[in-house]
Amino acid sequence: MAWMWRFEKTDGTEVPPAVEPEEFTTQGDAESWVGEVWRELLDGGADQVSLFEDGTKVYGPMSLQADAG
């Protein structure tokens, strides 16, 4: 199994990630990675991410914006 992120603007347009991801073997590894680098991804132009397993969307888009509240 391969877990991968798709990096997008708010309109769904795909953008290149500011931090190059690896190919993750578990969902937990993928989620931990995005939790560690989300600020750099946001600063690099991605507004949201979606998680895929072997090409099938698992969930997303998930905003990288910090909650204002």
Q: What is the pLDDT along the chain (69 residues), one digit of tens a residue?
A: 799 999 999 999 999 999 999 889 999 999 999 999 999 999 999 999 999 999 999 999 999 997 644
User: What is the tally of structural domains in the chain?
Assistant: 1
pLDDT of residue 67: 63
pLDDT of residue 68: 46
Residue 69 lies in a domain: no
Residue 35 lies in a domain: yes
pLDDT of residue 22: 84
**Cα radius of gyration rounded to whole Å, the chain:** 11
- Burial (CB < 10 A; 0-12, 13-18, 19+), residue 53, is middle
Residue 41 lies in a domain: yes
Q: Domain limits at 56?
A: 3-63
pLDDT of residue 66: 75
pTM (two decimals) = 0.90
6 residue type, one letter:
R
Residue 68 lies in a domain: no
Residue 10 and residue 48 in contact, taking contact as beta carbons nearer than 8 Å = yes
